């Protein structure tokens, strides 16, 4: 039987508790005294997710997401996304297979799929556009 692991780490405040989840979705979560810093906080069913940073992947119930940075992928229920940087892909809800690297990259994306944004504010206002590639500061920010 295959077992999958989702990991959440937040290094911001004194450790309050550490807990693990079982069943078909195994997870490890570190919870700190300040509830606002919990990564993967509302994740109930998602598997194979990795979150590092305050509020990263907070609502993710999807699979195969990676979020590194404050508020990265915080609202996502879409799978296969990668967000690296503060508030990268933070508004994403149903979008899948997106890559956002940089502060606010793909920040307003709600349901756009298969986008790549590299650089601060790259594809910042992309809401539902698909298969875009933006590289550089503010590239395609009003797409």
- The model's pLDDT over 24-66, given as tens digits with 9 standing for 90+, comes to 444 455 554 455 556 777 777 788 888 888 888 887 678 999 9
Cβ atoms 36, 53 nearer than 8 A? no
The CA distances from residue 10 to 18, 52, 88, 136, in Å, are 11, 6, 17, 28
Give pLDDT, residue 54: 84
- For the cut 60, the answer to whether the pLDDT of residue 12 exceeds it is no
pTM greater than 0.85 (yes/no): no
- For the cut 80, the answer to whether the pLDDT of residue 134 exceeds it is yes
Q: What percent of the chain has pLDDT over 70?
A: 72
Describe the chain by its helix, strand, coil percentages, rounded to 5: 0, 25, 70
d(Cα 99, Cα 33) in Å, to the nearest integer? 31
pLDDT confidence bin for 133, thresholds 50/70/90? very high
Give pLDDT, residue 131: 98
Give pLDDT, residue 109: 94
Q: How many alpha carbons fall within 13 Å on the CB side of residue 124?
A: 15
- For the cut 70, the answer to whether the pLDDT of residue 17 exceeds it is no
Residues 4-21, mean pLDDT to the nearest whole number: 45
Q: What is the pLDDT of residues 73-114, one digit of tens each?
A: 998 889 999 999 999 999 999 999 999 999 999 999 999 999
């Amino acid at each position: 039987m295959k077992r999958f692991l989702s990991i959440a780490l937040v290094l911001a405040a004194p450790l309050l508790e550490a807990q693990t989840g079982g069943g078909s979705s195994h997870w490890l979560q570190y919870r700190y005294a300040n509830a606002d810093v919990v990564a993967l906080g509302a994740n109930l069913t998602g598997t194979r997710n990795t979150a590092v940073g305050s509020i990263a992947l907070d609502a993710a119930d999807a699979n195969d997401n990676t979020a590194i940075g404050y508020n990265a992928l915080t609202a996502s229920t879409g799978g296969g996304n990668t967000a690296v940087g503060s508030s990268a892909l933070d508004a994403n809800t149903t979008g899948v297979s997106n890559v956002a690297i940089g502060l606010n990259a793909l920040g307003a994306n709600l349901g756009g799929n298969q986008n790549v944004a590299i650089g601060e504010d790259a594809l910042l206002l992309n809401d539902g556009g698909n298969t875009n590639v933006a590289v550089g500061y503010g590239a395609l920010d009003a797409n």
